[in-house]
Chains A and B, each alone.
Chain A
């Protein structure tokens, strides 16, 4: 028997956390053992691939025998032996462990462009990318197209900045090509700071060469000989794979001097961010690369006029650049055919929170949110009710369940008071308190405010103070008006995008959940049962069986009572952690 066997194991951060390293080792060990080698002979290969999106089911393993692919979910190292003996040697897949129908519904409505090679190519092997058509676009561009022609294709494709603001990429590049001077920079912004977002991490981890190829094409188009990737130090795996990919691209002549013999030089350096959200802002990012405190400055001059070290600089997001090779390969018309009139192509989202199928998804622009939540996402975890979807992270807003038919494109999201953002999408259910969510984001923006301008530095602090007192039951009449006025002041007078968008979570939650704010302020009650100071736990004697389960989990020792007799919570000691509430099988703990 001489079978062609290829194993692909998800080795994104999710896959590794779920035990991907052990799974790979088990396959390698199994293939090394003599009797397997005798049956399947030499054509066995085990590959690590990047994120396949469905992180909730990790470790995901593809077993491809003579071209026939089967995908397994939740694989642990000790399950490998059976897969090898029954499927690879025996020829019949292990039915119980294969992915179920929902794996397919998760993928059915997705359209993959940026992620098309993620989870298929080995991110640590340039040949793997080349064998799927990688670097063909760069060759085509450098060998047959002028810089202006290249930019025209991007303009025609309608590609807009995927970092959040949605500025047309073609327009940006056009400004750069016209900027004078021999020295220009192209920066790839991989400082993915939004909490609840991991699109850029997955792309760099899963397919770093697409980002490099996109940068090469962009640099050629605007005639920039120098490139930087500004990436978060919190993404060590992505950094490692990026370094490796740059090295490989250099060896193959896709980076360095006289690329493809066309007389064009381009080099990429990697700069590690040092942990500041504001450095996602263009001018702050530039200051950080220059080694300074990452504080933004007033614009104009825009970076395209005066950027890194004073030279014209273009900053594009990871996802934007990763789109470029695919657009150049398949044409502007192909890309522009996807999406809506003003928002073309696809968008990658990190679908997380209280959703059943959480993971990384890529959908055509203009898809209704409902389809993302219920078809791709499989609905809400634990059969609970959808309350809201938060998009755009700390700069974005909440979309309530009542308008879940909103479509996902720059314009529609802006209309309902949220933003597209970089692609974080956190699903909230009925047990989430919207005041608490707004407070969470303000805590974030307040601590990440760089402190340079007064409206943001002091405004976010005051907003947070008001929200905090509301969640502590000390809200006053007039607080809502004050929040709204202050929010609009901070929005209009802050220096950079951080301050200008920081009040969005407050404004959008007040807009849709005013009654919830009012319940906190006037009735001193948290309807979702989240805000600790407005909560108390008690035991319903008629349901309590005296099983002592709650006494054992209570970290404060606040629950007393004899076995088989109703227990009691001592309110003075109770820290309101909710452990008893979750443990009780008899619903004998009341929260309110």
Chain B
């Protein structure tokens, strides 16, 4: 861990980065903001950890808990909202056994994230399954996709 973090710090010093870019790098490296990682960086830079957590809790992009293996992002933009995204989210939460008030299943297999808008409103409602954008999603289409996901038939693509 320390080796990876040292690399992040070097990049930060070379590129006149800031605390947000350090946190973005940590999140990218470990999938979430590990408390021990933040404490280590804070000690190295002599900046109180509270400063880091202040930023981490302010921005929606940061996670203080690990995310699931599969990340399903549901768009909650206006166009998606009027086209029934709420119902899709409810069925995702139910189908993937996401506990109340949480976004990740207990077995760390699935995370259901809500985002404000992915900017693909003309194909609303939009669900992103592991970086693949699905447009004009219907409850039926979603069910099939979840079935594929559970049976691990899902194709991992990296276009978006």
Stretch at the interface among A26-34, A75-83, A256-264, A291-299: A291-299
CB neighbours (8 Å) of B94 from chain A are 555
Q: Judge if A519 is at the interface, Cβ distance under 8 Å.
A: no
Interface centre among A13, A233, A237, by most chain B C-beta atoms within 10 angstroms, is A13
Q: Which B residues, 106 to 120, have Cβ-Cβ distances below 8 Å to chain A? A: 115-120
CB within 8 A of B60: which of A272, A275, A358, A579?
A: A275
Which of B122, B126, B139 sits near A56, CB closer than 8 Å?
Answer: B122
CA of A276 to CA of B24 in the docked complex: distance in angstroms?
A: 14
Report A-chain residues with C-beta under 8 Å of the C-beta of B117: 193-198, 234
Q: Identify the stretch in B1-9, B34-42, B76-84, B96-104 within 8 Å (CB) of chain A at 4 or more residues.
A: B76-84
- B78 engages A55 (CB within 8 Å): no
Distance in angstroms between the alpha carbons of A448 and B94 in the assembled complex: 26
Report B49 CB to chain A, min CB distance, Å: 15
Indicate whether B156 reaches chain A with its CB closer than 8 angstroms: no
A277 adjacent to chain B (CB < 8 Å): yes
Stretch at the interface among B14-22, B64-72, B145-153: B14-22
Please, how many angstroms separate the alpha-carbon atoms of A274 and B24 in the complex? 8
A480 to chain B, nearest CB (A): 23
Residues of A within 8 A of B91 (CB): 555
Main secondary structure of the interface of A (DSSP, over half): mixed
Which A residues are in CB contact (< 8 Å) with B139? 553, 579
Contact status of A275 and B76, CB under 8 A, knowing A192-B119, A201-B119, A236-B160: no
What string of 1s and 0s marks CB contacts (under 8 Å) between A240-256 and chain B?
00000000000000000
A138 within 8 A of B: no
A223 to chain B, nearest CB (A): 22
Selected contact of B59 from candidates A192, A195, A274, A354, CB within 8 Å: A274
Select B119's contact among A198, A233, A448, A555, beta carbons within 8 Å: A198
Q: A272-B24, A579-B139 are in contact. Are A352 and B61 (CB under 8 A)?
A: no
CB <8 Å contact, A358 and B59: no
Which residues from 151 to 171 on chain A have a C-beta closer than 8 Å to any C-beta of chain B?
none
Binds B, one of A15-23, A84-92, A405-413: A15-23
Residue of B nearest to A11 (CB): B159
**Residue of A at shortest CB range from B158?**
A236
Produce 1/0 per residue, B25-69, CB < 8 A to A: 000000000000000000000000000001100111110000000
Question: Is A426 interfacial (CB-CB < 8 Å)?
Answer: yes
| Nearest CB in chain A: distance from B124 CB, A | 6
Give me 28 A-to-B residue pairs in the complex whose CB atoms sit less than 8 angstroms apart, sorted by A's number.
A13-B119, A13-B160, A14-B122, A16-B160, A17-B123, A17-B126, A17-B135, A55-B122, A192-B119, A197-B117, A197-B119, A198-B117, A198-B119, A235-B119, A236-B160, A274-B24, A275-B116, A291-B21, A293-B58, A353-B79, A354-B83, A358-B79, A358-B124, A426-B79, A426-B121, A553-B139, A555-B94, A579-B139
Please give the residue numbers on chain B whose beta carbons come within 8 Å of chain A beta carbons, in ascending order. 17-21, 23-24, 54-55, 58-62, 76-79, 81-83, 87, 90-91, 94, 115-124, 126, 133-135, 139, 159-160
Seen from chain A, the residues whose Cβ lies within 8 Å of a Cβ on chain B are 13-14, 16-18, 21, 55-56, 58, 192-198, 201-202, 233-237, 272-277, 288-294, 350-354, 358-360, 390, 393, 424, 426, 428, 432, 437, 440-441, 444, 448, 450, 553, 555, 577-579
